[in-house]
Every structure is written in structure tokens, then in C-alpha cells.
Amino acid sequence: MKKTVALLFLAVLIIGCGPKMAKQETLDALAEAQAALEAAQSKLADLQAQKEQLQARGAELEGMMSELQAEMDDLQAKIDARCAK
């Protein structure tokens, strides 16, 4: 009899302490957080692509500036040569 009572008590204890289902509120908050994470990851990918485009454009503009500076230097040298005559 004592073994049965102890076994019954142990079973109640195990069932009472067993895994419980998450509350719907917790599941909703988790789903919302997951959606926010996915949106943030998408935004990050878009911003990284935009950053790469801007860096490429910056490199292109730097090249153009170098070409224009060389052209300006060449023209200044021609002006100086003609004015020195």
C-alpha cells in the first residue's frame, strides 16, 4: 500500500512538473519577433547591395576626377608654355 501511494505521488509529481504548452501570447510574441528578424535581414541585404553600388559609383567618380585633374594639369602646362613665349 505504501509503495502504491508513493508511486501515485511520484506519478502526480512527474505529470505536474512535465512539459507544458506555451501560452498563445508567448507564441504570438515569438512569431512577431521572427517576422521582425526576417524583415531586418531583408533590409540588411538591401542596404548591403546599395552600399556596394555606391562604392562602385564612388570608384567610378574617383577615376573621372583623376582624369579631369590630369586634363587640367595638361591644359595648365599648355597655357604656361604659350604665355611664356
The predicted-structure confidence for 35-49, as pLDDT tens digits, reads as follows 999 999 999 999 999
Over residues 3-35, the pLDDT tens digits come to 777 777 777 667 766 566 778 888 899 999 999
pTM for the whole thing? 0.57
Alpha carbons within 13 angstroms on the beta-carbon side of residue 24 total: 0
More confident residue, 75 or 19: 75
Residue in this structure with the C-alpha cell 540588411, named with its chain if needed: 44
Distance CA 42, CA 34 (A): 12
42, three cell numbers: 531583408
Distance CA 78, CA 65 (A): 20
Distance CA 77, CA 56 (A): 32
